Amino acid sequence: MSLQQIAIVTCRSLGDYTANADSEDERLYRFLAEKGHKISFQVWDDEQVDWTAFDALIIKSPWDYFDKINAFYTWLDKLEALGCRVLNPVRTLRWNADKQYFKDMQTQGVTIVPTVWLEQGSTFDPDSMFEAIGREKIIVKPRVSGAAKNTLAISRAEAGDYTARINTLLQDEPFLAQPFLEEIKTQGEWSFIFFNGRYSHSVLKKARPGDFRVQHFFGGSVHTPTPPAGMLQTASEIVGKFAQGCLYARVDGVELNGELVLMELELIEPFLFLSTSEGALERYYQALLDLTPQPAARA
């Protein structure tokens, strides 16, 4: 017998995140329902939900988790204690929530964007930061973040205007700083999407003129050229090493000197661009079946 009860885990309000995007959650809901499964949307921090009632919990769009990170960690602990089948696995979600995972990846040979870590309570010193990064423009963003929240692109000349704001933000949470890569503006940022470790499709995201944020809700555009073979191979190796047992994985990166430099490994709640590739939903579904044992009939 196939799966009976599937929860698509979301948040209370998708808000601005859905602007300029098709409703991927609804598309997935309809597809799985047409396969004969009982599908429902469940809000991750709704205390009334009985998570044990589901054969699988698909972590799809809890897009406010980074605003409530301690509550999110507590919820993951609860799912683990209850023995729920969670996709992606709880241990992977915990690891991927904090961008310190870059350190693990770098020690295992993955090329990431050079990163300087700013601990909570520390002081942002623009002169030393620009010296350490060696560029005239940098990106500063939270270590736990999403949707470009509190992400700042700062030139050396204007750094003084941002120092007080960054130091105020550092009182609440840790940040990181990276070089601003002009290639993101000129070439775009690649996203490679995998289901259960198998490559499905890719997109090239480009920022609108005058912006550096490639997210569609900031006016970014999505394209589907054939990806460079070498970059795809690197993305596949990353997924094989760091996304074992994952229903989905999205590798975000930029091409520098013909190589993939990792920007993000998205294993919690990435937009999957399911409408951009024929057969993507079916590939997603087959991965779901492969990762979820068929339950016995309910009494």
User: CA separation (Å) from 67 to 97, 143, 181, 278?
Assistant: 12, 12, 27, 34
Residues paired with 255 in a beta bridge: 260
pLDDT in tens, 87-122: 999 999 999 999 999 999 999 999 999 999 999 999
Q: Return the CATH class of domain 5-90.
A: alpha beta
In CATH, the architecture of 116-180 is 2-Layer Sandwich (3.30)
Q: Which residues of the chain have pLDDT under 50?
A: 1, 19-21, 212-214, 217-218, 298-299
If residue 165 lies in a helix (H) or strand (E), which one and from where to where?
Answer: helix 159-170
pTM of the model: 0.90
Domains in the chain: boundaries:
5-90, 101-111+183-282, 116-180
Handedness of CA 212, 215, 219, 223 (dihedral sign): positive
Q: What is the pLDDT of residue 149?
A: 77
Q: What is the pLDDT of residue 23?
A: 86
Instruction: Give CATH for domain 101-111+183-282.
Output: 3.30.470.20
Cα distance between residue 170 and residue 177, in whole Å:
12
Q: What is the pLDDT of residue 87?
A: 97
SS3 283: helix
Cα distance between residue 203 and residue 156, in whole Å:
32
Q: What is the pLDDT of residue 218?
A: 46
User: Contact, 101 vs 161, CB < 8 A?
Assistant: no
